[in-house]
Amino acid sequence: MRYKKFQDIELSALGFGCMRLPKNSDAAADINEELAAEMFRYAYDHGVNYFDTAWGYHDHNSEPVVGKLLKAFPRDSFYLATKFPGYDLANFTKLPEIFEEQLKRLDVDYFDFYLCHNVTEKNIDAYLDPQYGVMDYLREQKKAGRIRHLGFSCHGQQDVLERFVEAYKDDVEFCQIQLNYLDWTLQKADRKVEYLKSRGIPVWVMEPVRGGKLADIDADYREKLEALRPGETPASWAVRFAIETEGVGMVLSGMSTMEQVVDNVKTASEEEPLSAAEKQALAEIAEGMIGRTALPCTGCAYCTEYCPMQINIPKFMTAYNDMCYSKGGFVPSITYSSAPEGHRPDDCLGCGACAAVCPQNLDIPGMMSDFVVKYKEYYSKED
């Protein structure tokens, strides 16, 4: 296993994400503990020393199961991460009771890493609101030795990430974002990494294989990669890309099978960095994947001041591209639902004032109307 230095400790390059543990049935909470224990054992024996869970994973059953399974190993031989579930605004008044319950569920005295979970457009105001005092409370827990390191995970767009960092720059020790060779451009992970590097904050990676999508790529892409590194799985390319990205201190993979654990451990154990040609191949594949649907918005925001409806056009461009590729997805729904009413794609007048100034000549009104159609199609089941 390769290790990366974080402050005065060494973290395995691969962390075990515990949001997609193997299950006995379709029920989220029905974790196959026997198989999960074997997977933990294999990972641990091969050097993985970071386990990441959260309050809500597996319908609240991840923390208790992870706590139980980690009893197989000495407490000081691994690092445990969990998170405050701020994705649900109702939890902001319950932080102390949730935190205490998490210690009980995981049956530990302290967390090595504790994150504000899923900072987005929807909850950033609550996270920064002094009336809830989220960071004040977490700071106290850290002083008391119940948290070793504080960070946050972020599915919000760039401005949200920056607001959180700027507000808590003395507290944030790491930041977890969605990063893979597709989202490098699709969700503009490249900008987030650059910004975090400039603030000296190490990047924790989630979804390196994009929920498994990059493990199951089209045959022509697969052949292209096979020609470069025979025998490597598509997933290993994705994990390697994340590990090799400058500024990344941890790559979390939510593993569901022993085969995935073995493959990821192998990838994270090899010192075989991607060559410039290999990086280029991944960039071309990503470009091909999104090429059919994505609009090449650069985020310059020249258009926004001309919009009579004050629609945040670049944000909706990013969300639209993601939605088209993912045929739904988490981030577009957050962007949509957190935008103020009256300033959403539904409110576009089709006036074209934006398109007239767009240096990329993008059909912005067309995107707005298609956004509305696709949003209804992909999210109608959730309405």
Residues that bind ligand SF4 in the complex, under the rule CB under 6 A = 297-303, 306-309, 311, 313-314, 317, 348-354, 358, 360, 362, 364-365, 368
Closer CB to ligand SF4, residue 83 or residue 315?
315
Spatial separation of the C-alpha atoms in residues 120 and 157, rounded to whole Å: 7
- Give every CB contact of residue 219 below 8 A, 6+ residues apart in sequence: none
Closer CB to ligand SF4, residue 205 or residue 354?
354
Is residue 122 within 8 Å of 331, Cβ to Cβ?
no
For residue 336, the surrounding DSSP H or E stretch is helix 330-338
Q: How far is the CB of 345 from ligand SF4 (least distance, A)?
A: 8
Token duo for residue 167: 């507000």
Query: Cβ of 260: how many Cβ atoms within 10 Å?
Result: 21
Token duo for residue 238: 């994705």
Closer CB to ligand SF4, residue 101 or residue 346?
346
Closer CB to ligand SF4, residue 203 or residue 339?
339
Q: How far is the CB of 32 from ligand SF4 (least distance, A)?
A: 46
Spatial separation of the C-alpha atoms in residues 110 and 314, rounded to whole Å: 41
Q: How far is CA 193 from CA 139, 164, 196, 287, in A?
A: 25, 15, 5, 19
Spatial separation of the C-alpha atoms in residues 144 and 104, rounded to whole Å: 17
Q: How far is the CB of 300 from ligand SF4 (least distance, A)?
A: 4
Contacts by residues 166-174 (CB-CB < 8 Å, ≥ 24 positions apart): 167/127, 167/128, 167/135, 168/135, 169/199, 171/135, 171/138, 171/139, 172/201, 173/7, 173/149, 173/201, 173/202, 174/6, 174/113, 174/149, 174/201, 174/202, 174/203, 174/204, 174/249, 174/250
Q: How far is the CB of 355 from ligand SF4 (least distance, A)?
A: 6
Q: How far is the CB of 157 from ligand SF4 (least distance, A)?
A: 13
Closer CB to ligand SF4, residue 247 or residue 352?
352
Q: How far is the CB of 370 from ligand SF4 (least distance, A)?
A: 12
Closer CB to ligand SF4, residue 333 or residue 360?
360
Q: How far is the CB of 124 from ligand SF4 (least distance, A)?
A: 21
Q: How far is the CB of 340 from ligand SF4 (least distance, A)?
A: 14
Q: How far is the CB of 298 from ligand SF4 (least distance, A)?
A: 5
**HSE-up of residue 91 (Cα within 13 Å, Cβ side):** 19
Closer CB to ligand SF4, residue 249 or residue 345?
345
Closer CB to ligand SF4, residue 128 or residue 309?
309
Q: Which of 114, 110, 34, 33 is nearest to 75 (CA)?
A: 110
Residue 329, SS3? coil
Closer CB to ligand SF4, residue 70 or residue 364?
364
